[in-house]
Chain A
C-alpha cells in the first residue's frame, strides 16, 4: 500500500499549494487608498448600467438607483442589501434582507466595500421574460479568490506535468 502515498503525489500537492500561494501574493499587496465613490446604477430590461462596477476594498460606495422602464429590484449578494426602484421616482427603497423587515425610502444608500471578490447584483422583482438572468457585477479588488484560483490551476497543471514527466514514470516504486 506504500506506493499509494507515492512521493510524486506529495510533490503534486506541494506544487498546487505553491501555485495558489503565488496567485494569492499576486494580489496581496494591492493597496489603494480608500475613496468615496458616487455611482448611479440604471436598471432596465434586462441589465444594469454600468454592468460592472470596479472598486477597491475599503471604498465607501454611495449608490443611487434608478429604474428606466419598469419597476426593478437590486439584490446585492454578500453585502446584505436589497432595493427596489420605480421608473417615475427619484428616490428608491432599501432594506437589509437578512433582517427582513420593511423597505425604507431613501435617495442614496452607502456602504463600505469591505469584502473583496466578485459579487452579483440581481433583479429581485419579476420584470419580464429574461428577469431571472438580469444581473450586474460588483468587483471589489483585490480579488484574492480569482488570483489564488488561477494560481492553483497553474500549479495543478505544473504539478501534473511533474507527475507525468518521463523520468518519474514508474522509476519510484
Chain B
C-alpha cells in the first residue's frame, strides 16, 4: 500500500513533462515556409514599416505638437502598442522584430546588401560583414542596460506618449544608435543589449504560443556546418547569435528566419504551442529584475496615466508643470518600486516559502530565479489589461488622424472630422477582470511547473509555493482595485 502510494505521488518524470504539445506549422503550411525562405522576405515586411516610420518622424518633427492629433503619437502609442502587447506578444513571440525598421540601416551597413547574402569570413561567421565587427564586452552581455534604459525612458513616459517631438527624438536616436553600433559591433549587438523595447519583448515572448526551433536536436548535434549560427551562402549568420541546436526559449530569437534559410538539414520549423507553458526558466538576475520592472511599470502607469489624481500627472508632466521636486519624487518612487521594493517583497516571499518548506537543499538564489517566472504571464496580462482602455477610449483618434496625420487640417480619407468617441467604455472593466484572472492563473501554473522541477517532495513543493502565490494574489487584487475598485 505504502509503495503504491509512493509511486503515485512521485512527480511526473521530467522527460514526459518536458514535452508539451506542439504543432509543426511549416509542415502544414509549406507555402509559409517558402515565404520566409525567400531572401527578400524580411526586407518586404520591413519596407512598409520603414515608410511609416519615416512618416512618423516627419510628423513628430514638423506636425502639430498636440499628441492626439499627430500620427506618431496615435499610431505608435495607441495602435502599435496595443497590437504589440495584446496580439504579437502572446501569439507571435518576437514577430515585431521580424518587421522592425530600427535596425534596418545597421543591417544594410553591415551586409552591404538588403536582400542578398555574402559568404566569406568575419569573426565567428562564414559571411562577409563590413564594419569593425567588434565583440560586445562580456560584462555587458546581459539585459541590465535594457533594464535601466527602459526604466529611464519610463520616467519620461508622460512626455514620450503625449509629445510628438519627444517620441520622434527618441525613435530618431534609436535608429541612429542601431546604425552606429552596427558599424562597430558585430551582428545585432544593438538589439541584443541596447534596444529598450527588446528587454520586455524577450521577457514576454516566453509566454508566446509560437516558437521557432530545431525539429530534432540530434540532427544539430551531428551537424558539421552549424550554418544557423555561422551563416552560409543561403543565409546570414544568426544576427542574434543564437545557436538553434541549444535554443529552448524564445527570449533572444528575433524571428528573422535567416536560420530557416541557411540550415542545410532543413531542421528548423515554426511551432504552435500552448500559452505560457514551455519557456519557464528565467536565467539571471537581469531577467528577474526585468520581470519586476515591467510589472511595477504597469502598476505605476495605471496609477499615473489612468488614475484620477491630477497632482501625480503634474509631477510626471515635468516639461509643462516644471515641478522638479514633484518630478524627482515620482521618478525616485517609480524606480524604487521597480528596483527595490517589489523585488524585496518577492525575495521575502521566497525566503518565507523556503523556510516553510524546510527546503535546505535548494538555494535561495535558485528559488528566486526560478519562481520569478510567475511574474511573466502576470506582467504581460496586467499590461494587456492596462492597454484595453487605451484603445477602447482613444481608438477613434486612429480614424481621424489617418486623414490628417500631421494635424495640419488635411482630410486625406475624409475621416478627419471623426469625433472622439469611446467604444463601450463602460464594458472595459468586464474585459479587464478575466484578463487579470488569467494572469493569476498562468502565474500560479508557472509557479507550480518550475517548482516541480526543483522539488521531488510534493509537500515541500506545495509549501514553498504558498508565499509567492499569495504575493501574486496581492498583485492581482491591487490591479483590480485600480481598474475596477
Contact = CB atoms under 8 A, between A and B. Distances in A.
B28 interface: no
Interface string B27-66: 0000000000000000000000000000000000000001
B444 A128 contact: no
A164 B462 contact: yes
Contact of A160 (B12, B305, B313, B441): B441
B158 A165 contact: no
Given A97-B421, A153-B477, A170 B485 contact: no
A129 B162 contact: yes
Interface residues of A, number: 49
A160 B466 CA distance: 11
A149 B10 contact: no
A120 B388 CA distance: 14
A17 to B, nearest CB: 13
A75 interface: yes
Interface stretch (A29-37, A55-63, A85-93, A133-141): A133-141
B459 interface: yes
Contacts, number: 140
Contact of B68 (A118, A132, A154): A132
Contacts of A75: 422
A173 B4 CA distance: 13
Nearest to B463: A166
Given A135-B308, A149-B437, A169-B9, A118 B469 contact: no
Contacts of A126: 66, 68-69
Nearest to B470: A157
Contacts of A129: 66-67, 162-163, 317, 320
Contacts of B433: 145, 149, 152
Contact of B313 (A115, A133, A166): A133
A71 interface: no
A139 B357 CA distance: 42
B394 to A, nearest CB: 6
A51 B459 contact: no
Nearest to B317: A130
A171 interface: yes
A157 B68 CA distance: 41
A160 B469 contact: yes
Contacts of A22: none
A170 B10 contact: yes
Nearest to A51: B308
B394 A130 contact: no
B305 A157 contact: no
B72 to A, nearest CB: 14
B426 A156 contact: no
A152 B466 contact: no
Contacts of A120: 308, 425
A8 interface: no
B448 interface: yes
Contacts of A133: 158, 162, 305-306, 313
A47 B309 contact: yes
Interface string B224-243: 00000000000000000000
19 contacts: A47-B311, A51-B308, A97-B421, A118-B485, A122-B422, A122-B425, A128-B320, A129-B317, A132-B68, A152-B433, A153-B436, A153-B476, A153-B477, A157-B440, A160-B441, A160-B445, A161-B469, A166-B461, A171-B5
Interface of A: 44, 46-49, 51-52, 75, 77-78, 97, 115, 117-120, 122, 124, 126, 128-137, 143, 145-146, 149-150, 152-154, 156-157, 160-161, 164-167, 169-171, 173
Interface of B: 5, 8-12, 66-69, 158, 162-163, 305-306, 308-311, 313-314, 317, 320, 393-394, 420-422, 425-426, 429-430, 433, 436-437, 440-441, 444-445, 448, 458-459, 461-462, 465-466, 469-470, 472-473, 476-477, 480-481, 483-485
Which 4 residue pairs across A and B have the least CB separation, nearest first? Answer: A47-B310, A78-B426, A51-B308, A77-B425
